[in-house]
Amino acid sequence: MALGACARTTEPAMAEPVVLDLDLSALEARHGGRLGVAVATEGKRAAWRGDERFVYCSTFKMYLAAATLLRVQSGLERLDRAIPITAADMVSHAPVTQPAVGSTLTIEQLMKGTVEVSDNPAANILIREMGGLEPFRAFYRGLGDTITRVDRLEPEMNRLDGDKDTITPDQSTRNIERLLVSADTPLSPASKTLLMRWMTETPTGQGRIRAGVPVGWTVAHKTGTGGYGPVNDIGLILPPTGAPIVLAVYFHATADSTDAQREAVIAEATRQALKALGHG
């Protein structure tokens, strides 16, 4: 008898996720604009316009920090490397870099500033230091993401121009799962800890995903705001018990809506997405 025939085993097939209903048509109709949502947790997913493109605005800065952390892990970068900050680096919204003009900030300080308070020059500097937009594109492709576009720097990348600098909610949740949930994440425990700390401690977006989760739940997230309608929030929701929940919400609101109204839509979309998963 051939021993090889007995020794071979078959790998178990991966179970397909259960796709749940998430109908946000009434929320869209009530507030106008276009809303894209994707949510995922252990074996369950739901989405509304999940495969449509949305301009991502500053939500990309979470991915930029992850890409930089991978460079640190590979020895191509150092957390403590000091970068000179110059007046030529300055563009709008520079709460961390503007006070540092004429001095230096470390790579770690630049990442913290771009994730926690969405500093635009910090993001541009990090992209420059990794070699430009092409290495950043390669980071997404390394995650298996062939969808996300990387075309421009801050602040131009916020401007709607076809498919430039866009992502889909479905793809964003897959990226977050790979980086922050999956056992095969390319991030080391130390890198993941840093990124999660910045995403949890950010003071931005209090009225967005955070406003839509039950009291006592933790949210690690990154906001993005276009200034002319787009208001976004993506990240990881950690219930007191049970599996983490990945959520991406992209809302291109009407130009005449207020910031508070736009954020309230994200909070309500969060509540409805959690309800679709069986929470609440």
Q: How many C-beta neighbours within 10 Å does residue 122 have?
A: 32
Q: What pTM, to 2 d.p., does this model score?
A: 0.94
SS3 258: coil
Helices (H), the chain: 3-7, 25-31, 60-73, 107-116, 120-129, 133-142, 169-176, 189-201, 209-212, 259-276
Q: Where are the domains of the chain?
A: 20-277
Cα separation of the two ends of the chain? 58
C-alpha R_g of the chain: 20
Blockwise average pLDDT, block size 10, the chain, 280 residues: 38 71 97 98 96 98 98 98 98 98 98 98 98 98 98 97 98 98 98 98 97 98 96 98 97 96 98 94
Domain 20-277 classification at class level = alpha beta
Q: Which of 25, 58, 118, 191 is catalytic?
A: 58
Distance CA 37, CA 237 (A): 14
- In the annotation, is 257 catalytic? no
d(CA 130, CA 128): 5
Q: Quote the CA–CA distance of 111 and 174 in Å, as a whole number.
A: 22
Q: What is the pLDDT of residue 58?
A: 98
Determine the angle formed by the axes of helices 60-73 and 120-129, rounding to 10 degrees.
Answer: 40
Count of beta carbons in the 10 Å neighbourhood of residue 74: 9
What is the sign of the dihedral through the CA atoms of 271, 21, 230 and 29?
A: negative
The C-alpha atoms of residue 169 and residue 166 are separated, in whole angstroms, by 10
19, 102, 111, 249, 270 from 237: Cα distances, Å:
19, 39, 21, 13, 10
Q: How far apart are CA 175 and CA 179, in angstroms?
A: 6
Please answer whether residues 257 and 7 qualify as being in contact, where contact means their C-beta atoms are separated by less than 8 angstroms.
no
